[in-house]
Structures are given as C-alpha cells and as structure tokens.
Structure 1
Amino acid sequence: MRLLSTLALLSAALPATALAPVERRTLLKGAAAASTISAAPALAKGSAGGPSVKLCDGTQFPVVSFGLQVYDDEAAYKYTTLALECGYRNFFASVLAGNQKGFGKAVRASGIPRDELYICGSVLSNRARGEEAAFQSTGRGCDANFRDLNVGKLDMIMLDYPGPDAESIQGQWRGLEAMRKDGGVTSLAVSNFSPAQLDVVLKSGGGRPTVNQLPLGVGYKTKQNAELLRENKKRNVLVQAWSPLRVLNSGALSACAAVGKQYGKTPQQIALKWILAKGATYTCQTTSRQHFQEDIDVFDFELSAKDLAFLDGENLVL
C-alpha cells in the first residue's frame, strides 16, 4: 500500500560525512573565514532531482520533494537513503514527525555534496499566542532545526501552521526573518496558510513567503483546488501539495488510470503530473523503491488540455 544576508558554512569544503553537530549561533561565529555555497542550484531537466522552478526570491526549487512526515529516526534514515538512491534531491523534514535527526544522519552518510541537495526544515509555533511569544517560540524552533538536522545552512524553513491571530502570525514570521538575517537559511515558507493569513505576512513589511504547502490533488475539491492555486499565484507564492496521493478516491483513481493508459503511466503518476501541470509542486512519501521511482518519473510526457479538463471533472470530487 502506498503511504499517503549570507552564511558561509564552516564545513563547505568538507565531505558530507564530516559535518559535525552545531548550533546556529555557533555556526555563525567565524563564518567570514569560510567560503559560501549556493543554496539551491538550478537543476536541468532530466538531472538528479528533476527540474526546478524559480521562486519569488530568485532561488531555484526542485519540483519533486520527499516529505518525511510519518517516520521515526531509524525509518527516516532508511527511507532518506533510499530516496537519495532513487534521485531525490529536495527534502522536507517535518518537525511534527520528530525524525529530523535520522534524516540528517542519512544526508551526512550519503556522500552527496551538500550543495546538490535542497533541504527544508519546519517550525511548529502555532500554539504561541501574541507576537512576542510566537517570536520566541519560532526562534527556538529554528535553533532546533540546526541541532537536529545538523546539515549546516538550510535552503528553506517553513512554518507548519499559522498562529491563532494576526499578531501571533507576525511574531512567527519575525522569528523566521531573524533566522534569515542571521544567515541560517535562504528562503522562508509557510504551510496551511489561507489567503488572509498570507496577507498578514505580506503586510508585515519584511520578506515574503516563497512556498505555501497545502492539500491539493485530483479529486480533492475542484473549486477549492482552483481557488487556492489562483489566490497563491496572485500573491506570487508557489503551492507545494502535501500528501498529494491521499485524496485519490475511487473515481479519481479510475480517471487517472484511464488517462495513464495513453502514456504508459500509473494512476499515481498521472495525479502527480496533474499537480505540475497546474503550476504547483509536490512532496510525497513512500516506503517502496518502486514507488519512489514512480513518483519522480513524470517528466517524459505532458498532459493535454483534454486530459486536464477530464481530470478536473466535478464527478471526481470527494
């Protein structure tokens, strides 16, 4: 079954296995003496990790990601290693799963140069109420990413959920901005933010979210799919679908299977290609080498306008 500012790294010239445990503020000391690496290299179509898209801050973001959301550290190590072997180079390590140490261990053991990977950490500070409390909680979460992931500078940090009100969201965002100002991360992102909550951030006067991680998929809710894509695009925020295959009900699966016959692709590959065709990206998870390979093997065909209209059909919604 398928499961649903610049910081110079002290370890930039060392192999991945040589990265040592370090806190953010410790890492910053003496940074000027080391050389800087670029956070997210542009990936040519067909290269490891697949193609990338340009975010609103000018950085490149690989469109396919492996999201570690349900594993413990031991399993995270195992499946991260498998994902790397299958060509994944974009990773979302969710703090909710408590498996960031296992993920970081796999990255360091892989021998793959750090600048060939795109790593996004996450912060859970949505229960803090008020700007200062949310700021402090977010700061602690940012520091925990350095301690637990232990891979040096991050390419992205994401707020897993918005705070309970505008003041709290402003504090959360200020916490992320402080991390970027310190040089610990390149891009800032959010998850599960509504258009109104995005606007709270955009009106804060600081930087802007590059990515909003949201539920999106064939058969989810046609009107909701269209609205969230439209509203995020209007704000120049890229949508990343989380657990994009979990919403495939029997009707959506049948529709994807029918389209897939034309291209020699599985229903799941069609569902993932639909997300890319809509101008979004996705992060998915599995425990199977076959499914890892399927989920990244979606760049050798294009869905037609007829295919898209069929997959958008109201009869497929939940």
Structure 2
Amino acid sequence: MTSVPEIRIADGVSIPQLGFGVYQVPPETTEEAVTMALEVGYRHVDTAQMYGNEQGVGDALEASGLNRDELFVTSKLNNSFHRRDDALREAEKSVERLGGPMDLFLIHWPLPTIDVDYLETWKAMIEIRDAGLTRAIGVSNFQVPHLQRIIAETGVKPAVNQIEVHPYLTNETVRAYNAEQGIATEAWSPIAQGAVLDDPAIAAIAERLGKTTAQVTLRWHIQRHDIVFPKSVTRSRVEENFQLFDFELTDADIQAITALNKDHRTGPDPDTFDYVPA
C-alpha cells in the first residue's frame, strides 16, 4: 500500500499529508464514501459539524476494523457555536458521533463581523484540547491579523490553519505567516472546484508526465508541503487522487504552476464572511 508522508504539527501530533474530504457528501452516503476511501488506502478524513455527516464518518471508521491509532480524524466547530459553553458542548457531541476523541478540531471560520469574539472561541478550543476531546486544535480560514491576535492573547498557536489554496489562489501571505509560526497549512478547494483542470500550463505538465491535471495539481500542493484532502465519491477518482507519490514535479513545474495565481477565490472572503446557521 502507498505510504502517505506525514507532517508533524503542534501538540506532538503527526498528520497524513493526503486525506479524504467529505464536504458536500450527503449524510446518507457518507459511510459508504468513507468506507471506499479507507479501502483505497486513505487514513485521514476531514469533516465538520456544518457538513452534517460526522455520524457517517464515525460509522465507517467503526465498521472498518482499523485501529483508531491508524486513523486521523479532523472536524470543525460550527459557526453557531462560538460561545464558550456552546463550543464545549458541541465538541462532546462531535466526539460521540465520531466514535472517540478527534485528532484535530478547528474553528471553522473566524466570523470577525459578528458579536461573538473568535478570541473567546479560541480559548474554548484550548479547554476542549485540555479536556481530551481532541489531540490538537487549529483554525480554518484565519487571516494573518486573526492569527496574530489569538496567539498574542493566549500564547497558544494553532496546530494548523486550513485555508483556500490552489494555483489560482496561492494565498502566499497567509501560508508564509503559517510557516513562520510553525502552523501547518491545510489547503481546501485544492483544484479550485475543477477550475484549474483545463489550464494549458498544468495540462502540458500532465501530458509530459503521463498524469492527469488533477494529479499534477495535488502533487504541486504536496511538494509545497500543504496538507490536502480532495473530495470525490467516484471510486476511480478517489483512487486517482491517491496516486501522487510515484512521480515528482521539477522546480520549474512548481514555479510555472505557482505563477498562475490570480487571487481568485472559489469561496467566501474570511475578512467579511459572517454566515451563522439558524
């Protein structure tokens, strides 16, 4: 079986650099999708309270027969639970649905324009970690000022920052700050929801290497030390996304793909996004 590289993050935890994402996977088909991914060889699953499919992830992990220490499970705090008491209560519910303590728990969005301060939420996350509900804590979609503030106020750095990164949004400022602070970067929307797959520059590299444009793009992330978790429910695509470790891009390839940056987001702007589910 392919050996996926691991990245050492804060709190003495190592995370597989390639995982399986379940964003937009319907709850009723999540167990089947995660089971398929585990059969292919994935051992890292990324979910969130907001996705509504933690139970399906937990059911698949339990049914797999794999030891829990062979698996890495990430979830994220829903935007409606930023107050301290809500965060602690809902973290316990995530643990119950997932069948045991999480490996990584993230604040999903900073929500800087709403009345619940994300600093309060980060302090709650520290309590959640210290209570043993998760091995490590981090954030998602945090910009540099958000990171600077929580670190300055608590002295606790996130283990990871999960942000939108792809060839059309290289997000270098946040990635550089993450690296400076020892915060691992996780890249969501790694192929820009498919927007980069027809790019001529990426297609030329793929043709030369005998790989798909998706594989080349994901390999670009891997060689830049991002953690990625592409999502698909099609077995052939799930298998294709896992086949990233039998080839390498040259430095020129990486530079050419990085040069495609357009600062183009496929998702919300973290500085203004304030969606809170009813």
- Aligned runs of 1:129-278 on 2, under 5 Å? 134-149=83-98, 151-164=99-112, 168-218=117-167, 220-222=168-170, 225-249=171-195, 253-278=199-224
Given candidates 289, 302, 305, the residue that maps to 2:235 is 289
Structure 2 unaligned spans of 5+:
265-278
Do the aligned partners of 1:251 and 1:316 also contact (CA within 8 Å) in 2? no
Distance 1:297 1:196, change over 3 A: same
Do the aligned partners of 1:155 and 1:185 also contact (CA within 8 Å) in 2? yes
Give the number of aligned pairs: 263
Do the aligned partners of 1:57 and 1:187 also contact (CA within 8 Å) in 2? yes
Q: Report the AA paired with residue 136 of structure 2.
A: S
Distance 1:143 1:281, change over 3 A: same
Q: Report the AA paired with residue 102 of structure 1.
A: G
RMSD (Å) for aligned C-alpha atoms = 2.2
| Identity over aligned pairs, percent | 27
Do the aligned partners of 2:106 and 2:139 also contact (CA within 8 Å) in 1? yes
Aligned to 1:74, what secondary structure does the other structure show?
A: helix
Structure 1 unaligned spans of 5+:
1-44, 129-133
Do the aligned partners of 1:67 and 1:94 also contact (CA within 8 Å) in 2? no
Aligned to 2:204, what secondary structure does the other structure show?
A: helix
Equivalent-residue separation in structure 1 for 2:261 and 2:56 (angstroms)? 42
Q: By how many angstroms is 1:283 displaced?
A: 1.5
Q: TM-score, normalised by structure 1?
A: 0.77
Superimposed CA distance per residue, residues 70-126 of structure 1 (whole angstroms, 9 cap, x where no aligned partner): 122221111001100110000111111101111111111111111100011211146
Q: TM-score, normalised by structure 2?
A: 0.87
